[in-house]
Structure 1
Amino acid sequence: MNDKQKEFLRLHVICGENYAAVEQKLSVPRPTLTLWYEELRFERERIAKIRQVWTTKKFTPIFEDFYNWYEKLDRKCHYCEITEEEIAELLNSGKLETKRIATRGKKLEYDRKEPNLTYDNIDNIVLCCYWCNNAKTDTFTYSEFKEVGKVIKTIWKRRMAK
């Protein structure tokens, strides 16, 4: 994907600008934009999934702000550091079982470090696994749960090594 195509995605898919505005800003004819729209389907669908999360939680007033924040995140639990790939490995090997896996657990979730603050403050949001999110609730402070996360990390590593 070249720089103009990236800017097309940003302007049209992320910012929601219409083709006329994008044509003018990029100095690219509409047939080329239409072609790019089809060629970049996979990327458009990936962005749409991110938008769906943003729409559900309303993390920020502007989607582009949330998208830029999301793209910079480490794809691991903020507390125990397990990744989605490691969760899949544990599930597939039978080293992890849960009744909730149909609805939660396969993907990282969003946790508010300070649970009394709203989701619209992205400085208060981190990615975390289902198990850390479920255990933290609103009982533990952020700093307390960082300590708990170290213990959970040790358990995950032990299971992975078996």
Structure 2
Amino acid sequence: MKRLNYDSISKELGIDRKVFSPWWDELEEERKYLSMIRDKWLAKCPELDFYEFKDWYENTDKKCYYCEITEDDLAKLWQNHPDLTKRNRGRKLEIERLEPNLPYSVTTNLVFSCYWCNNAKTDTFTQDEFLKVGKVIKDIWKNRLK
């Protein structure tokens, strides 16, 4: 993904820089959103086409594939249990591969997972095996969220 400077953009679009310079501030929310997706893409799936990753990201349920916890529920857990983990993970859903031997570039192999499910599944359990474990974790989260 090539980044262009204002002069290059002006030349490529045939629009005076004064016309599109204000767009930088006007599109701040969209820029932040796309930057967040880009950072996740670069961290996990740079070999995958960005727009394919973006499509996957935007159209996949934002809950753990195994225990079904959402990021809203994760925020509540952290609020109620600030010492949930000493690591700097667990506040957001992570991108996990169902089959660890397949690359991140296969979007049908990608799901969202909470830190605990992702960490516990490792490369040892199959998707079907870990769904059983996810049900137990789901019950624990329900009790902690009461």
Give the TM-score range, shorter chain.
Answer: 0.7 to 0.9
Partner of residue 44, structure 1: 31
What are structure 1's unaligned runs of at least 5 residues? Answer: 1-13
Contact 2:100 2:123 in 1 (8 A): yes
Give identity over the alignment, percent: 47
Deviation sequence 1:101-135 (CA, Å, 0-9, x none): xx211111111100111111111111100000011
Partner of residue 4, structure 1: none
Is 1:19 the counterpart of 2:9? The answer is yes
Contact 1:95 1:159 in 2 (8 A): no
1:22 is displaced (CA, Å) by: 7.1
Instruction: Describe how 1:81-160 pairs up with structure 2 within 5 A.
Output: 81-94=68-81, 97-100=84-87, 103-160=88-145
Measured in 1, the distance between the counterparts of 2:25 and 2:54 equals: 21
What are structure 2's unaligned runs of at least 5 residues? Answer: none
Count of equivalent residues: 143
Measured in 1, the distance between the counterparts of 2:30 and 2:12 equals: 18
The one-letter amino acid of 1:58's match is C
Partner of residue 9, structure 1: none
Contact 2:10 2:16 in 1 (8 A): no
Q: For residues 145 and 30 of structure 1, do their structure 2 counterparts lie closer, same or farther at Cα, with a shift above 3 Å needed?
A: same
1:21 is displaced (CA, Å) by: 8.1
Measured in 1, the distance between the counterparts of 2:12 and 2:141 equals: 47
* Larger helix share, 1 or 2: 1
Q: Return the TM-score normalized by structure 1.
A: 0.76
The one-letter amino acid of 1:72's match is N
Measured in 1, the distance between the counterparts of 2:139 and 2:82 equals: 14
Measured in 2, the distance between the counterparts of 1:78 and 1:127 equals: 6
Q: CA RMSD in A?
A: 2.4
Measured in 2, the distance between the counterparts of 1:22 and 1:80 equals: 48
Partner of residue 57, structure 2: 70
Contact 1:109 1:130 in 2 (8 A): yes
Measured in 2, the distance between the counterparts of 1:143 and 1:74 equals: 19
Equivalent residue of 2:111, what SS? strand
The one-letter amino acid of 1:39's match is E
Q: Return the TM-score normalized by structure 2.
A: 0.84
